[in-house]
Chain A
């Protein structure tokens, strides 16, 4: 690398930096300002100091949203474990295995909205597929009001996230598995390892970069979940706000109730949480980068 005093690097960076400044940096600063104002997007913001934050602390729905967003993080370890298992399964050289790989990827391609609408029918009270099967087989005597039960809204949304994410993460792990040398497994077999030990001592450490990558991606996606909740609750957040998450509450306050100032305060809390997460994640990434 030669040291050059030219404009070239700045010119190359200029388009990207302009876009990022206008659409990320400026909005972030503006949201910070709005969070101290009474603002409804139409009229000019009015300075109110810390009022929004004070209201936030005494707002039970906000605390519910915060709790729900953290509960949603359960999907990350489940997704990692299930998609590793699935990747191990489709990594076997069985006839027709490519068809299975493609099939598992179909929900990813179809998108949350289309899949979410399909799921709403599945969990429908009368004649949804789930009730139909469970009552038909005799597991349930009566159909269950899946989506009207406050305790079930969040778990069903999580299930949807897992169901969609599984194929995507499986592919990432599959790539990782194919980078692990076959010799390691042969050596382990000679040393008398059983199948479980082989995967525990070779597969898991071998997949470390992918595990870290997916932990980062899926935990951020979980904290910022919106589409699943929106579709499954019809944009209402569920009975007694049982499905309201941080981003859903932000959206509702800003764009349904025109409380943009209050929503900005929610956004700042969201920023603090993702900041904390990102610091942890970057540490992990750096460490896995060094081990490579």
Chain B
């Protein structure tokens, strides 16, 4: 009798648990979907606007969600008037060159800071720490003067690449990564007669590859989204990167909502596809970024 009773109690308990779990999951899904809607809605609205025909209402209350005359004419118009393809090529060129060179230069600098003993190491380290505090925007006035008068690269992509060749933040992240490499490994290589350059290239860099990937992603995304400095440097349309070009587009198509929307879709879509393809690496890179 008591056994049967306790069994039924257990069954009710089990039932109650699965029910509770089910309710809990539903609540989580509702939260997740709500956040997803808030995230996607602006993009969806832009996408809808970009394919609206001339007789579809762009500005109206109530809103018109479904275009009656869906068209790609807006895309064609924007594509013909602005070198969107060039914006892409420029952004990719700057991002890839700046990121690759930055990683080489900063990892080369991080190695002695982490693993060598030499005169002035602490002084150099604190000097770097001090420059880390300086906001990038503070340097723009003298950098502008340098670009125009000294380096003569105003209105070229080099104006974007050169200042971003070395970043203190990356030196610190990579120095931290080199720290975790055992000294025995480096000493063994030294006894074998390997040069420091070879140790850096053939032993250290492969070991810290996860950190390198993370730093590369950060550096590339920063370069890709950078706006203020490129907007000061790039003047001619053919030289613009995507964010600068987008602002130019917004100026050109001021009251043409459909055109601006088409331009935004054209610039966001490729990077989205790139992200979806590389999603695993992105997430892995990010999750490896801050391990405390």
Note whether A and B form a binding pair: yes
Q: Which of A's residues lie within 8 Å of B, judged by CB?
A: 1-4, 6, 8-10, 12-13, 15-17, 19-20, 22-28, 30-31, 34, 41, 86, 89-90, 92, 94, 97, 100-115, 117-119, 121-122, 124, 126-129, 131-133, 135-136, 143, 163, 167-168, 171-172, 174-176, 178-179, 208-210, 213, 220, 223-224, 226-227, 230-231, 247, 250-251, 254-255, 260, 263-264, 267, 270-271, 274-275, 278, 282, 288, 292
Interchain CA distance A14-B200 in the complex, whole Å: 15
Interface string of B105-149 (1 = CB under 8 A from A): 110110111011110010010001101111111111111111000
Most buried by B among A12, A124, A263: A12
Contact of B171 with A121 in the complex, beta carbons under 8 Å: no
Across the interface, which residues of A come within 8 angstroms of B286, CB to CB?
Answer: 168, 171-172, 175
Using known A-B contacts A89-B32, A171-B283, determine if residue A19 contacts B63 with beta carbons closer than 8 Å.
no
**In the assembled complex, B93 has its CB within 8 A of some CB on chain A:** no
Nearest A residue (CB) for B286: A171
Across chains A and B, which 9 residue pairs bring their CB atoms closest together, nearest first? A209-B292, A127-B59, A9-B112, A16-B109, A27-B139, A175-B287, A132-B63, A27-B142, A30-B142
Across the interface, which residues of B come within 8 angstroms of A121, CB to CB?
Answer: 45-46, 49, 257, 260-261
Using known A-B contacts A121-B49, A171-B283, A264-B141, determine if residue A104 contacts B42 with beta carbons closer than 8 Å.
no
Q: Which of B's residues lie within 8 Å of A, judged by CB?
A: 25, 28-29, 31-32, 35-36, 38-43, 45-46, 49, 57-63, 105-106, 108-109, 111-113, 115-118, 121, 124, 128-129, 131-146, 162-163, 165-166, 168, 171, 183, 187, 190, 196, 200, 221, 224-225, 227-228, 232, 242-243, 246-247, 250, 257, 260-261, 264, 267-268, 271-272, 275-276, 279, 282-283, 286-292
Contact of A127 with B131 in the complex, beta carbons under 8 Å: no
Contact of B131 with A25 in the complex, beta carbons under 8 Å: yes
* 5 residue pairs from A and B, CB less than 8 Å apart: A1-B183, A94-B29, A113-B242, A118-B43, A126-B61
Across the interface, which residues of B come within 8 angstroms of A26, CB to CB?
Answer: 142, 146
Interchain CA distance A119-B261 in the complex, whole Å: 11
Using known A-B contacts A8-B196, A174-B287, determine if residue A109 contacts B272 with beta carbons closer than 8 Å.
yes
Nearest A residue (CB) for B183: A1
Besides A24-B139, A230-B228, 12 new A-B residue pairs in contact (Cβ under 8 A), listed by A number: A2-B190, A4-B118, A19-B163, A20-B128, A34-B141, A90-B32, A106-B40, A111-B243, A124-B59, A210-B292, A224-B137, A270-B138
Interchain CA distance A126-B60 in the complex, whole Å: 6
Interchain CA distance A179-B290 in the complex, whole Å: 11
Interchain CA distance A23-B139 in the complex, whole Å: 7
Across the interface, which residues of A come within 8 angstroms of B246, CB to CB?
Answer: 113-114, 117
Contact of B63 with A133 in the complex, beta carbons under 8 Å: yes
Interchain CA distance A16-B31 in the complex, whole Å: 46
Nearest B residue (CB) for A279: B133
Using known A-B contacts A101-B283, A104-B39, A114-B268, determine if residue A129 contacts B142 with beta carbons closer than 8 Å.
no
Across the interface, which residues of B come within 8 angstroms of A15, CB to CB?
Answer: 105, 108-109, 165-166
Interchain CA distance A128-B100 in the complex, whole Å: 42
Using known A-B contacts A24-B131, A278-B132, determine if residue A106 contacts B292 with beta carbons closer than 8 Å.
no
Across the interface, which residues of B come within 8 angstroms of A131, CB to CB?
Answer: 61
Name the distance in Å between B255's Cβ and chain A's nearest Cβ.
11
Interchain CA distance A28-B58 in the complex, whole Å: 47
Which residue of the partner chain, among A109, A172, A226, contacts B221 with CB atoms under 8 Å? A109
Contact of A106 with B128 in the complex, beta carbons under 8 Å: no
Contact of A31 with B272 in the complex, beta carbons under 8 Å: no
Interchain CA distance A65-B101 in the complex, whole Å: 36
Across the interface, which residues of B come within 8 angstroms of A209, CB to CB?
Answer: 290-292
Name the distance in Å between A57's Cβ and chain B's nearest Cβ.
20
Contact of A100 with B32 in the complex, beta carbons under 8 Å: yes
Contact of A8 with B112 in the complex, beta carbons under 8 Å: yes
Contact of B115 with A1 in the complex, beta carbons under 8 Å: yes
Most buried by A among B111, B137, B282, B283: B137
Across the interface, which residues of B come within 8 angstroms of A210, CB to CB?
Answer: 290, 292
Which residue of the partner chain, among A12, A25, A97, A101, contacts B112 with CB atoms under 8 Å? A12
Using known A-B contacts A121-B261, A267-B141, A275-B133, determine if residue A4 contacts B290 with beta carbons closer than 8 Å.
no
Nearest B residue (CB) for A206: B292
Contact of B138 with A118 in the complex, beta carbons under 8 Å: no
Contact of A8 with B292 in the complex, beta carbons under 8 Å: no
Interchain CA distance A105-B292 in the complex, whole Å: 22
Across the interface, which residues of A come within 8 angstroms of B117, CB to CB?
Answer: 1-4
Contact of B264 with A28 in the complex, beta carbons under 8 Å: no
Interchain CA distance A131-B195 in the complex, whole Å: 66
Interchain CA distance A131-B28 in the complex, whole Å: 29
Interchain CA distance A163-B113 in the complex, whole Å: 38
Interchain CA distance A6-B195 in the complex, whole Å: 12
Across the interface, which residues of A come within 8 angstroms of B113, CB to CB?
Answer: 13
Name the distance in Å between B220's Cβ and chain A's nearest Cβ.
11
Which residue of the partner chain, among B190, B228, B289, contacts A175 with CB atoms under 8 Å? B289
Contact of B196 with A172 in the complex, beta carbons under 8 Å: no
Interchain CA distance A122-B48 in the complex, whole Å: 13
Name the distance in Å between B127's Cβ and chain A's nearest Cβ.
8
Contact of B109 with A12 in the complex, beta carbons under 8 Å: yes
Interchain CA distance A118-B253 in the complex, whole Å: 14
Using known A-B contacts A12-B112, A118-B42, A171-B287, determine if residue A31 contacts B138 with beta carbons closer than 8 Å.
yes
Across the interface, which residues of A come within 8 angstroms of B163, CB to CB?
Answer: 19, 23
